[in-house]
Amino acid sequence: MMKRENFGSQFGAIMAMTGSAVGLGNLWRFPYMVGVYGGAAFVLVYIVVVFLLCLPILNAEMIVGRRSQTNAFGAFKVLAPGTGWKWVGVLMIFTPLVVLSYYSVIGGWSLEYLYKAVSLDFTASAHTRAELDSIFSGFISSVWAPIIGHTVFLGVTALIVVLGVKQGIEKFGKLMMPLLFLLVILIAVRSATLPGAGEGFAYLFKPDFSKITPAVCAAALGQGFFSLSVGFGIMLTYSSYMSRKDSIGRSSLLIAVSDTMFALIASCAIMPAVFAFGLSPEAGPSLLFEVLPFIFSQMPLGGVVSIVFFVALLVAALTSSVSILEVGVAYLVEEKHISRKRAALVIFLGTWLLGILCSLSFGPLSGVKIFGDILFDFLDMFTSNFLMTLGALLIVIFVGWKMGRPDVRDEFTNGGTLSGSGRVFGPMFFVIRYLAPVAILVIMVSNIFA
């Protein structure tokens, strides 16, 4: 049997996992959710949720991955052989494939809008906000252009994964993550210099505590899972490629800090500009593709800023889509013993077909509703609010109650050689075993009755 690939360095592993976490969840989803759920109130709850709940859950998932040294399905066969826990592995394979199907549609949108930015479509002539809204709605409701973008984006993702863990995933992460941070910081600096930007910063960082509701808490937790890639097998798979010498605690903390910083920087790049031009922050998912092009069309040097922004958006989308695709590829390679190239092709075809249906749900299939939502919106809601939270719940129960405290401690502390990890293990394990399951259950119930 071919020797299993691993990451070549801890830096490479952290960059790859940070790349998974830092993606459309930060640059597309986080800013619009800040707008929908009350600005700084959502930001505050999100930061608390990430470090008190999502970080221990991330540790739990990474412990399962590195302890088993195999894919998301095989991990439970290795650590709990002959039990029903293998069905958690099935969930961990299924969820990311569903996410990738609609995620790649948004990736296709970013390709189209990068093309528009390079063509100076936003600045060549003065567009009204209504015209730009019409351009976006006309594009996503059309048949072929979004499907072509979806296909190209998914194809590039598959090609990177085919290159392997070291030559594809790790190299791509090490190159693109520093570039992505630099691009978004440049945009944030430009936004901060706009007249009236201060109102946007106040919206982001001066919380109105009356806006903190169960719905806001549920949304923050769902966003935390989506952004940190916990609850659906990605971090489990990536951590299985980590060296036994690397610190899980240090790696997970760096990932969480980097992911949160990027989300905040992305919001600082977007919200001050939104307020500077007197627009509503509550635009929802269309914020990046309707509101921002209007801002670019009005902004001095807007043509340059728009190119930089949509390059950043595309890079962010790709770093995450690569990790999502790898979950299914690792499963097929290790469990079904097929080549990486063939595995990537199989996953590509499955997610491509479902993605086409998601894309068409904005146009010809817009009349097909599931619980009142088009297919795209339903899959986004269902994966973020239910499948990921269920996956996270099962992971913490498995690590907290099935694996056994000595085994968990052994993996987290690298056999007792990491004294710093040993000091934080007790509180972290308490959260994993007791607090996290209760919190996740509360959020799941609130999602049901929301």
Output phi, psi for 135, to 5 deg: -60, -45
Beta pairing partners, 373: 370
Q: Which of 71-85, 225-239, 361-375, 423-437 is least confident? A: 225-239
pLDDT (0 to 100) of residue 27 = 81
pLDDT(45) > 90: yes
CATH 1.20.1740.10 fits 10-449, yes or no: yes
pLDDT (0 to 100) of residue 217 = 86
Confidence class of residue 219 from pLDDT cuts 50, 70 and 90?
Answer: confident
Average pLDDT over residues 3-9: 82
Residues in contact with 371: Cβ distance below 8 Å, sequence separation at least 6, in sequence order: 378
Domain extents in the chain: 10-449
DSSP sequence for 250-271: HHHHHHHHHHHHHHHHHHHHHH
Give the residue, 340 or 281, on which the prediction is more confident: 340
What is d(CA 381, CA 370) in angstroms, rounded to the nearest whole number? 11
Average pLDDT over residues 210-235: 86
Give the residue, 180 or 92, on which the prediction is more confident: 92
Predicted confidence (pLDDT) per residue in 363-410, tens digit: 999 999 999 999 999 998 898 788 988 999 999 999 999 998 999 999
Per the prediction, the chain carries an average pLDDT of: 90
Q: Measured in whole angstroms, how far is the alpha carbon of residue 231 from the centre of its chain?
A: 11
Confidence class of residue 120 from pLDDT cuts 50, 70 and 90?
Answer: confident
Cα dihedral sign, 105-106-109-110: negative
Widest CA span in the chain: 65
pLDDT(123) > 80: no
What is d(CA 318, CA 384) in angstroms, rounded to the nearest whole number? 19
What is d(CA 344, CA 159) in angstroms, rounded to the nearest whole number? 8
Tell me the pTM: 0.92
- Report which listed range, 134-138, 188-192, 307-311, 334-338, is most confident: 334-338
Nearest of 432, 300, 379 to residue 102 by alpha carbon? 379
